[in-house]
Structure 1
């Protein structure tokens, strides 16, 4: 450990990190179950209080439980994580926490309970926590609808935000696409498909045309994707469908592209006479554009070298996180600082034990340096 290290004499250990990950994983927390998320918050609070020496604020928004630790009057650096997962109650019995040959497994091991454990241990290792804020949300996997305002309010005015989301192959996430989500609903008129189909207004036919039209809004040149995903229509096999619904997923590297697609979708009209179209939804997460992370990437390169992380690359990814919100309000943001592994949302979800300690030490170093900075992080 270098003389300039911000860590305490007793630094985090691999064994302690693994034990914390185990405790977090063994409390299941599917985003859709507010009671389960509240129980998970109890565990995060207990673990975090033991490590940090102080209890967090417990913030419940529309039934969803979030936790926040603030050290000092003003936030200079925000560390961001979530404790909800995509896995339903009962998954743990089938995919229990385990460590074998240096690989940790279990629901949420990669996304993102390992990163949450790393974040708690990184801040616990700091002698001076002035200006440091930790925010742990409970609804990230379902779009952060109930935590977005809290994230933005907490981040506003910070020098930088560090996001402990997971990373494949150890790469930092320097850019993320923004996301928009829509539901297109066609209102037609039912009729008997055999006796008098001409009296119906076919919502399925209208929706088929709309799905094709939506895909034409994609722009490979800019990386914008417009993807019809789930479709539902009709009631029975012999009835002209009176209603049809289509979900559309939009991803783009720039806010202007999200706004272009949004404007276009809102001008659409049903291609079937007498059918009526309504469009719900909109831009969910603004992009994390590379310009918002450039200075933090350089800092991570400098600080990572002593921990054996000097060769780590920064990448751009299509998936979104809560870091999109912090970048969207102008706070420099670096993501992907958590677990290294793979299998997010999949049966083979896992995190590599050997990566825990060096990346936790790096996260502590980054936090310490930024916490001493006034104004927006630049270099």
Structure 2
């Protein structure tokens, strides 16, 4: 398993580099074909490379991704290494090791019949091109298992996820010479500053309107900000990106109305709201029965009791759960530091985790 993980990690696959993602698909497809005994279907959508294996009439869907957040060349500053029971390298936890774990788990069964495997190449950027492929595959299945990494270094599964929305608020002002006649301009920087403060107050408004439930309150966070074109020009344009994490469909809708209802404070300024809702929330009811089954299997196999946690991050599990397919996430590798320099995988947990997944597959595809 470590040899396979190393091969995948050394093949960098930054989401924004479609050539790198295509090369990664070749490597992942080769590893999967060797272990599963069949080559994948290679699916390119919008230039993004996805892989699919389908055996018989699928009742179980396994979902993973091979793209990473790490820019090309990261392998030089964060090289593959194995020491003190930990494997390190860009994307090792999220989620190269999860893919290897998935392939080995399925290969350990007498037959892969009744299983569909999808490995997409754009999960880290919202699964824009692969969403329909994933949703169509989930629609006819009794269970979906998502191979994202565990929720913590103790191996907790992800039983609920907040939904995500992404907005860009574009402020249109009017340019003017900052020294000679600034009064003739409409300063987009001043207006976007007002909007940053307005956005920070939307969370309280949404919380007052809709109860967050078990996933807690919604979060609305201003992130990227840019304005202006020259040091001596009244800015005519500014942009603000807003990240939203919503615990329920109702709160996601309420926030959408609030964001689109934002108004300018500066006379002459105009607001344009782009973007909107992306991944729907995954409620705990989507995973309840599968988590109970996983807990029983873990006990039978002599593992420590499983924990299930709700998380603010989203994944392709949000899409499959929204299709009405029971979904359990976080079944991939155990470790910590995803998206960070400290990223690592706990090597000793790889085989037990694969055995847990294999038994989950065996019992849910019957």
- TM class, shorter-chain normalised? over 0.9
Deviations 1:212-253 (Å, cap 9, x if unpaired)? 111111146631011111110011222111000000000011
The secondary structure found in structure 1 opposite 2:164 is strand
Q: Does 1:54 align with 2:54?
A: no
Asked if 1:164 is matched to 2:164, the reply is no
What is the alpha-carbon distance in structure 2 between the residues aligned to residue 230 and residue 86 of structure 1? 17
Distance of 1:20 and 1:305 partners within structure 2: 28
In the alignment, which residue of structure 1 is the partner of 2:72?
89
Q: Is the 8 A contact 1:181 1:249 kept in 2?
A: yes
- Give, in whole Å, the separation in 2 of the partners of 1:340 and 1:310: 14
How many Å separate the matches in 2 of 1:330 and 1:281?
25
Provide the C-alpha distance between the structure 2 equivalents of 1:310 and 1:303, rounded to a whole number of angstroms: 11
TM-score normalized with structure 1 length: 0.92
Distance 1:343 1:71 in 2: 34
> Corresponding residue for 2:124?
141
Indicate the residue corresponding to 2:81 in structure 1. Answer: 98
Gap regions ≥5 residues in structure 2: none
Post-superposition offset of 1:128: 3.1
Q: Decide whether the 8 Å contact of 1:25 with 1:97 is kept in 2.
A: yes
The equivalent residue for 1:203 is 188
- Aligned partners of 1:127 and 1:158: how far apart in 2? 20
Count of equivalent residues: 355
| Offset, 1:306 | 2.9
How far the C-alpha of 1:310 sits from its partner, in A, is 4.1
| Equivalent residues of 1:302, 1:310 under 8 A apart | no
Provide TM-score, normalisation by structure 2. Answer: 0.95
Partner of 2:50: 66
Residue number in structure 1 paired with 2:261: 267
Distance 2:124 2:286 in 1: 23
1:238 and 1:52 mapped to 2: Cα distance?
A: 63
State the alpha-carbon separation in 1 of the partners of residues 260 and 114 from structure 2.
Answer: 43
CA RMSD of the aligned region, Å? 1.1
Q: Distance in 2 between matches of 1:44 and 1:110?
A: 15
Counterpart selection for 1:361 from 355, 360, 363: 355
Q: Distance in 1 between matches of 2:222 and 2:302?
A: 43
Deviation of 1:166 (Å)? 0.5
- The residue number in structure 1 matching 2:23 is 39
CA distance in 1, matches of 2:5, 2:189: 47
1:191 lines up with 2:185 in the alignment: no
List per-residue Cα deviations over 1:273-323 (Å, max 9, x = no partner): 221111110111111110100001100001111333341200001111111
CA distance in 1, matches of 2:15, 2:314: 16
Deviation at 1:269, TM superposition (A): 2.2
Q: Say whether the 8 Å CA contact 1:308–1:358 is kept in structure 2.
A: no
Matches within 5 A, 1:1-379: 17-73=1-57, 75-167=58-150, 168=152, 169-219=154-204, 222=212, 223-372=217-366
The answer (yes or no) to whether the contact 1:301–1:310 under 8 Å persists in 2 is: no
Q: Note if contact 1:179-1:284 (Cα within 8 Å) is conserved in structure 2.
A: yes
Alpha-carbon distance in structure 2 between the residues aligned to 1:213 and 1:309: 49
**1:35-91 deviation line (CA, Å, top 9, x unaligned):** 101111101111111101111110000110000000113x21100000011111211
